[in-house]
């Protein structure tokens, strides 16, 4: 069972999302909150697996809440940001803070449910319509710190191949098929990549890989 928390100040949006979540038997809605402060409290008390987090909320916004959740709570839940085209800066900061991905609010029910399943499995879920736009915007002025450059150089050739797959948005299963490896081996490489790069998730690793590719 995947426990989900909703954080959105719009009660109509929350009702719509909760209706969608009821479709899936393996997904259980454990709570609904209307601002970021409540989201942080609920993340601690309800211990959800996944949080659907709006960005713009009163009192404490979703970005601030995501930063607190990902940095202050041991084994934090996966956070999926809900966004629109006009919030690129917020999304970039959220991904840096540790969010597992983002969706547009007008995504369909199947996309939403799939996103929850994907991030719960430890992978990233980025809205296809804005993924490349955000990454290109984030890396408009490519720059890697000396520490990041050194970390990239510690990757083995196989890890570099896996990282390239992550950069392209491929799943572990897709990477395994392409590189003729077992999915378990790919997962081991992904964990090693995260440790070496200091990346909290696939999104942060992909951004580093994209920036390195532009720099090269």
Domains defined for the chain, CATH in brackets? 2-137 (3.40.50.2300), 141-215 (1.10.10.10)
pLDDT in tens, 158-207: 999 999 988 887 888 889 999 999 999 999 999 999 999 888 778 778 87
pTM value surpassing 0.75: no
Residue 208, φ and ψ in degrees, nearest 5: -65, -45
What three-state secondary structure class fits 133? helix
User: Whose CA is closest to 105, among 124, 87, 123, 132?
Assistant: 87
Q: What is the DSSP code (8-state) at residue 85?
A: G
Q: Count other C-beta atoms under 10 Å from residue 72's C-beta.
A: 11
pLDDT in tens, 71-115: 899 989 999 988 776 566 666 777 777 888 888 888 888 889 988
The CA distance from 197 to 186, in Å, is 16
Measured CA distances, 48 to 52, 88, 160 (Å): 10, 26, 33
What three-state secondary structure class fits 30? strand
Q: Which residue has the tokens 């949006």?
A: 13
């Amino acid at each position: 069972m995947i426990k989900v928390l909703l954080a959105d100040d719009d009660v109509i949006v929350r009702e719509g999302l909760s209706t969608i979540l009821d479709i899936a038997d393996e997904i259980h809605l454990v709570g609904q909150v209307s601002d970021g402060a409540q989201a942080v409290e609920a993340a601690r008390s309800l211990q959800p697996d996944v949080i659907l987090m709006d960005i713009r909320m009163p009192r404490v916004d979703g970005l601030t809440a995501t930063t607190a959740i990902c940095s202050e709570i041991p084994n934090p839940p996966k956070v999926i940001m809900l966004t629109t085209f006009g919030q690129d800066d917020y999304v970039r900061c959220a991904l840096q803070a540790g969010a597992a991905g983002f969706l547009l609010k007008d995504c369909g029910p199947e996309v939403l449910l799939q996103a929850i399943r994907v991030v719960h499995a430890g992978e990233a879920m980025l809205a296809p319509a804005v993924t490349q736009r955000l990454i290109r915007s984030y890396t408009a002025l490519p720059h890697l710190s000396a520490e990041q450059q050194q970390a990239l150089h510690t990757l083995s050739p196989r890890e570099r191949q896996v990282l390239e797959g992550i950069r392209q948005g491929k799943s572990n299963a897709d990477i395994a098929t392409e590189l003729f490896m077992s999915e378990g081996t790919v997962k081991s490489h992904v964990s090693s990549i995260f440790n070496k790069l200091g990346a909290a998730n696939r999104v942060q690793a992909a951004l580093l890989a994209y920036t390195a590719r532009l720099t090269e």
